[in-house]
Amino acid sequence: MAEKDLDLPADRESPVGAPVVRGNEAVAGDRAEDAIRFDPDDPDSLERATVEIQTFAEISASDAERLSILRGAAACAALVRGEGSYKAAAKRTDVPVSFIRKWARVHDLPRAVRVTVADGTLAPTAAKHIARLEGPLRYDLTWATLQHDLSVREVRTLASALKSGDDPDAVFAAHGIDLCGLHLECPRPVYRELHRRAALEERPIEAVIADAIDVTLSEGEVPG
């Protein structure tokens, strides 16, 4: 099978400030119903976002609760949209531009990545480095971080190398990361059939599995 990229959303697709993840009961539990929406077009909502950012800026990201961090990130993104720039948002809150920018970018990450922050799988401090990247690299570094249990420092180093334009395969390989390696367990009948087809088609079993997954993923899209 020829290698190809699926057309995956690399940026946020839902409205800025909307509690898509924070308001998802499957992720946030009982707190979902209390999720705050920040509306960039509503002056009262922007004032609430201003207060939220000022409170958020006083708390270390390593100490803050994950849903609170996503709420703070949403407030940053909404205020930037409402004010028209990072600089204007920072001036209104008296918070550094760099703070506003990095958390607004986290809010802009695709939903699949934001979910891993919300459920505690991905550290928010790692997410802010992943958010520096663009396109599919956001996914690549996220999954590499989770699969290889990378530290925030390692994520920062990888993000810098990838951001500089270095070849992604070379960057990951230099850090001993097999980005495309994945251990799979499946029911015995499936295991038996995969090997049977690989033998009859005289192809590596990895290729047979990749083809089967490609067909399944192509049958329908999951919203990003």
pLDDT digits (tens, 9 = 90+) for 175-217: 999 887 777 888 999 989 999 999 889 999 988 988 888 777 7
DSSP state letters, 99-152:
HHHHHHHHHTS-HHHHHHHHTTSS-HHHHHHHTTS-TTHHHHHHHHHHHTT--H
Range of the domain at 192: 188-218
> Which of these three, 88, 109, 130, is where a domain ends?
109
Q: Would residue 119 count as lying in a domain?
A: no
Residue 143 in any domain: the answer is: no
- The answer to whether position 44 is within a domain reads yes
202/208 Cα distance (integer angstroms): 10
In sequence order, which ranges of the chain are alpha helices (DSSP H)?
25-28, 43-57, 66-83, 86-93, 97-107, 111-118, 124-130, 137-147, 152-163, 168-174, 188-201, 205-218
Does a structural domain hold residue 49? yes
For residue 95, give the 3-state DSSP assignment.
coil
| Residue ending a domain, choose from 50, 80, 109 | 109
Residue 221 has pLDDT above 70, yes or no: no
Note whether residue 39 is domain-resident.
Answer: yes
pLDDT at residue number 8:
75
pLDDT tens readout for residues 117-166: 999 999 999 999 999 999 999 999 999 999 999 999 999 999 999 999 88
Q: What is the pLDDT of residue 1?
A: 36
Q: Is residue 137 part of a domain?
A: no
How would residue 7 be classed by pLDDT, with cut points 50, 70 and 90?
low
Average pLDDT, the chain: 90
Query: Is residue 150 one of the residues assigned to a domain?
Result: no
**How many structural domains comprise the chain?**
2
Question: Is there a domain that residue 23 lies in?
Answer: yes
What is the structure's pLDDT at 185?
Answer: 87
The predicted structure's pLDDT at residue 6: 59
Last residue of a domain, one of 48, 77, 109: 109
